[in-house]
Amino acid sequence: MPKLWTGVTAGNTSALADDFNSSIRFDKRMFRQDIEGSMAHAAMLASRHILSDEDRDSIIAGLAGILQDLQDGTLAVDEQAEDIHMFVEQVLTERIGEAGKRLHTARSRNDQVALDLRMYLRGECDEITALIKKVLEALADLADANKDTIMPGYTHLQRAQPVSFGHYMMAYAMMLLRDLDRLKDCRRRINISPIGCCALAGTTYDTDRRMEAELLGFDDICLNSMDGVSDRDFAVELMGDISILMMHLSRMAEELILWASWEFQFISISDAFTTGSSIMPQKRNADMAELIRGKTGRVYGDLMGLLTTLKGLPLAYNKDMQEDKEGVFDACDTVKMCLQILAPMLATITVRKEKMMEAAQKGFINATDLADWLVKKGMSFRSAYKISGQIVSMCMEKGSVLESVPLEEYRKYSDLFDETIYQAIDLKVCMEKRISEGGTSAASVEKQIAAVRSVLR
C-alpha cells in the first residue's frame, strides 16, 4: 500500500520498519468507529463549506460501502497498511477518486485515533455494564433462594459468626454495584470528543467541532487541542475500573474454588463449568474460576503497561501512544469473557445447605451471641466476653458445643444463666436477630436484593 505521508521523507522505509511501525493488526477492530467518525467529519466540513456537498455525498456513500463490505467480509483489511485510518482512506480514494483525498482536511491521525479509541471504549463500557448486570441477576437469584441458608461467616478464614448464603452473595453484589457506578463515571470522561484538535494545535479552517461531536454522540469536546491528542487518561481509568472489577471477580472465584473443594463442599459447580484431570479420575476442577482468578493478573499488567508507557511522555502525540490499544483491548476482552462465564456458572451452582449447616454447627460461631445474652442480662461486655471464652474452652476440651452444655454447667460460670440461653444461641435465631441495617437477617437481605434489582430494572 503506498504511503500517504511521503512529504519530506521518501517513504522508502525498510520492510522491517514498516512492520514495526504498523498497528493495523490490532487497530483494525476500530474500523466501524473510524468510518463513522469520517462520515461525521465530511458532514461537518461540508456544513462549513470547506468541502462541497457533492464531495461530501460521495465520501459518505463511499464510506458506507466500505463499512458494508468490511462487515460482510467482501473487503478484507489489508495488513500491509500502516493502520486502520490509512487503510480506510486509501480504499475510499481508490473507490471514489479525488473526493477521497479531501476527507483528511482539518484533521490529523492524532485526533482521529483518539476519537476512534474513545468511541470504541465507550461501547466497551456499555457491553461490560450489561454483562455485570447478568452476574448481578444471578447473585440476586441465589440470594433470594438462600436468605435462610445458614453458613459460617469467616474472618481470618476462621469461622466467626453465622450468616446466610444470601447475605454472602449480596456482599459480592455490592462490589459489582460500585463497579457499575465507576464505569458510568468513567464513560462520562471517555465521551468527550477530541476530533478537530488536529495534529496538536487546532486548525486555521473554520470548523465546527461541536457539531461533529454531537453527530457522533459525544457530550462535550476537549477544550485544549494539545491535551485532546495526548490524553489517554480515559483508557487508564477504564483499565483501573476493570482492574478493580477483576479483583472482585477474583475474590469471588477464590471462594467458589474453596467452597467447591472436598474440604468445604459448600457448593458444587455444574459439569458445564468443571473439568476433570487427565490422570486422576476423581477430580472435579474449578478451572473456570481459577482462570478468572488468574486472568486478573494480566489485566493488572495491562493497566501497569499503559501507565508506564505514558509516564514522562512530552506533549503532544508521540508514537509511544500507539501502544495504548493492545492492553486496553485485552483488558476489555478479558473482563467480558470472565463475566460471560461467571453469570451462568453462578446460576447453575448447587448450594449444599446441609454441608454449610454442618460447618456452622462446629466452630462456636454463636459464642458472640452467648456473650451478648449475658450483656442483655446486665453484665459488662468485657466480663461476658471472658466468661463466654471460658465456656468455649471447656467445650473444646470436652469436644462438645455450646448448645449441649447443661444449664447447671452454665450456672457454674454465672448465675445469670437461665433456660432462655438455648434460644439465644440457636444458629437460626443468631442469624435472624441480626436485624441491623445491612446485617444478615432475611429482612435485611431482602432489602439488599431489592436495591440490586432496582438497578437492574
Active site residues: 156, 277
Query: Which amino acid makes up residue 131?
Result: L
Closer of 22 and 361 to ligand ARG (Cβ): 22
Residues 6+ apart with CB under 8 A from 295: 246, 334, 337, 338
Asked if 321 is part of the footprint of ligand ARG (rule: CB under 6 A), the reply reads yes
Total residues interacting with ligand ARG, rule: CB under 6 A = 10
Q: Which residues of 279-290 are buried (b: 16+ CB within 10 A; e: fewer)?
A: eeeeeeebebbe
Tell me the window of 47-55, 123-131, 149-157, 315-323 that interacts with ligand ARG (CB under 6 A). 315-323
Kindly report the length of the chain: 457
Cis peptide before 347 (omega within 30 of 0): no
Whose Cβ is closer to ligand ARG: residue 93's or residue 110's? Answer: 110
Q: Is 90 an interacting residue with respect to ligand ARG (CB under 6 A)?
A: no
83 binding ligand ARG? (CB under 6 A): yes
Stretch that binds ligand ARG, among 72-80, 92-100, 318-326, 444-452 (CB under 6 A): 318-326
Phi, psi of 410 (to 5 degrees): -55, -40
Residue appearing with cell numbers 493495523: 24
361 binds ligand ARG (CB under 6 A): no
Closest separation in Å from C-beta 67 to ligand ARG: 20
What is the grid cell recorded at 345? 456458572
**Distance (Å, whole) CA 213 – CA 222:** 10
DSSP class per residue in 145-162: HTTT-EEEEEETTEEEEE
Alpha helix stretches (DSSP H) within 146-221: 165-190, 209-215
Q: How far is the CB of 25 from ligand ARG (least distance, A)?
A: 11
| Residue 117 Cβ vs ligand ARG, minimum distance, rounded to whole Å | 8
Helix (H, G, I), strand (E, B) or coil at 271: helix
Residue 27 binds ligand ARG, judged by CB under 6 A: yes
Minimum CB separation of residue 325 from ligand ARG in Å reads 6
Touching ligand ARG, residues 101-120 (CB under 6 A): 109-110, 113
Q: Which amino acid is at 230?
A: S
CA distances from 108 to 38, 317, 354 (A): 11, 11, 65
| Closer residue to ligand ARG, CB minimum distance, 231 or 432 | 231
- Residue 265 near ligand ARG by CB under 6 A: no
The Cα 2–Cα 439 span in angstroms is 67
Chain mean position to CA 233: 17
Nearer to ligand ARG, 21 or 340 (CB): 21
> What are the cell numbers at 161?
459468626
CA distance 180 to 273: 26
- CB 59 to ligand ARG: min, Å: 20
Q: Considering the complex, what minimum distance in angstroms separates the CB of residue 109 from ligand ARG?
A: 4
Tell me, what DSSP letter sits at residue 351? E
> In terms of CB distance, is 168 or 317 closer to ligand ARG?
317
Looking at beta carbons only, is 104 or 284 nearer to ligand ARG? 104
Q: Does residue 23 belong to the site contacting ligand ARG (CB under 6 A)?
A: yes
Question: Which lies closer to ligand ARG via its Cβ, residue 41 or residue 109?
Answer: 109
Min. distance of Cβ 31 from ligand ARG in angstroms?
Answer: 13
Task: Return the range that interacts with ligand ARG (CB under 6 A); candidates 203-211, 319-327, 358-366, 390-398.
Answer: 319-327
Q: Does 209 bind ligand ARG (CB under 6 A)?
A: no
Please name the residue ranges forming H helices in 348-406. Answer: 353-361, 367-376, 381-398
CA distance 165 to 178: 21
Instruction: Summarize as ranges the residues that interact with ligand ARG (CB under 6 A).
Output: 23, 27, 83, 109-110, 113, 317, 319, 321-322
